[in-house]
Amino acid sequence: MIWVSAIVFILVFLVLAGGYFLLAPGRTEKSEIKKRISLLGVRAMQKDVLPDVLRTELLSDVPMLNRVLARMNAAVRIDRRLKQADMKVRVGTFVLLTAALFAVGVIAGRILHWPTVISLAVGAVLMAVPNIVVNMRRRLRIKRFMNHFPEALEMFARSLRAGHSFTGAIQLVAQEMPPPIGPEFSKVFEEQNLGIPLRQALIGMTERVEVLDVKFFVTAILVQRETGGNLAEIIDKISHVIRERFRIQGQLKIFTAQARITGTVLTVLPIGVAVLIGIMNPEYLKPLWFERIGKIMIAIAVSMQILGALAIRKIIRIKI
């Protein structure tokens, strides 16, 4: 039983390592962006160091847990992702829920007399559920934001040409654009009115909406305020670039449609065949579930399926 657990552990490690190397973004692009933004003095936007403001913020209603989280730099990453998903959940609640789901999975596995590896795997799957929900809501919110972002930039540029001040243009976008663009620009306007420097208010928006286009927008504003120039024309060009990116992304979705369908079919087909065989002839699959070699074969097959799906996903995900 020990060597079976060791094989399963190695396979899981290989899957996670393969997924990291397949899905991790390029270091060169990130380092270049960090270098350019650091020249503008906005290095805090790219670091995960816990700021002083967040250290004094209440991260949990439980005093002891709040003190523990206040000393952890990981708390800022969790808090940032919750804010990006627009979820009114404290970091402590998120951590406790994640730990509770892991404990439920392990305890349920022990009650049902499952092997230790299976119990830990079930606990890990349940533990990932809150993070999956946060990621889904974050992606949907960013997608809604980007769908209207070019229109917001055009409205911002038209307002500047009409003679409005910079803060007046931000207020106009906040009032006229739907969520989540309207509330984000409204936060920038309110923070600036409360005395927070404009640079810090704009950087705060890039942290709440972690999209490269928003960082370009903020960078353009900061550069223009230091060097001068026609800000309305610069914003129009950024809006045009974003629309062209949307057009190219739509074409890429058409070109990669067959590959995406192929990946879906290849991922779902083995599961569907196994279910049909289990319904039509349950005795045929019993050796896979009850024999040691059958369990090893299932672990290997699942690992290869995951690696294949990650490889196909890496091929069809073309960054623009």
State residue 42's pLDDT score. Answer: 43
Residue 254: helix, strand or coil by DSSP?
helix
Q: Does residue 268 form part of some domain?
A: yes
Taking the C-alpha atoms of residue 103 and residue 97, their distance in angstroms, rounded to an integer, is 10
Final residue belonging to a domain, choices 253, 286, 303: 253
Q: Which has the higher per-residue pLDDT, 30 or 307? A: 307
Give the domain-ending residue among 221, 236, 253: 253
Q: Which of 220, 253, 286 is the last residue of a domain?
A: 253
Asked if residues 97 and 82 have their Cβ atoms less than 8 Å apart, the reply is no
- The pLDDT mean for the chain works out to 80
What pLDDT is attached to residue 266? 86
Return the pLDDT at 88: 86
How large a percentage of the chain has pLDDT more than 70?
81
Query: For 264-281, how does the pLDDT look when each residue is reduced to its tens digit (9 = 90+)?
Result: 898 889 889 988 988 888
* Same domain, yes or no: 206 and 272: no
- Give the pTM: 0.70
Q: CA 20, CA 12: separation in Å to the nearest integer?
A: 12
232 shares a domain with 263: no
Q: Across residues 199-218, what is the average pLDDT? A: 90
Looking at the predicted structure, is the pLDDT value of residue 29 above 80?
no
Q: Is the pLDDT of residue 107 over 80?
A: yes
Task: State whether 166 and 246 are in the same domain.
Answer: yes
Mean pLDDT in residue range 83-103: 89
Please tell me the total number of residues recorded for the chain in this structure. 320
Whether 207 maps to a domain, the answer reads: yes
Query: What pLDDT score was predicted for residue 19?
Result: 43
291, 233: one domain: no
Number of domains in the chain: 2
Q: Is residue 74 part of a domain?
A: no
Map residue 72 onto helix, strand or coil: coil
pLDDT digits 0-9 by tens, 4-19? 444 544 544 444 444 4
Name the nearest CA neighbour of 169 among 235, 214, 242: 235
Query: Are 163 and 233 members of one domain?
Result: yes
| Together in a domain, 207 and 245 | yes
- 2-23 helix and 292-316 helix, angle to the nearest 10 degrees: 0
**Cis, peptide link before residue 180, omega less than 30° from 0:** yes
Q: What is the 3-state secondary structure (H, E, C) of 136-204?
A: HHHHHHHHHHHHHHHHHHHHHHHHHHCCCCHHHHHHHHHHHCCCCHHHHHHHHHHHHHCCCCHHHHHHH
Residue 256 vs residues 58, 248, 288, 308: alpha-carbon distances, Å: 46, 12, 36, 16
Could you tell me the residue range of the domain that residue 166 belongs to? 146-253
Position 22 pLDDT exceeds 50: no
Span 57-80, average pLDDT? 76
pLDDT confidence of residue 57: 62
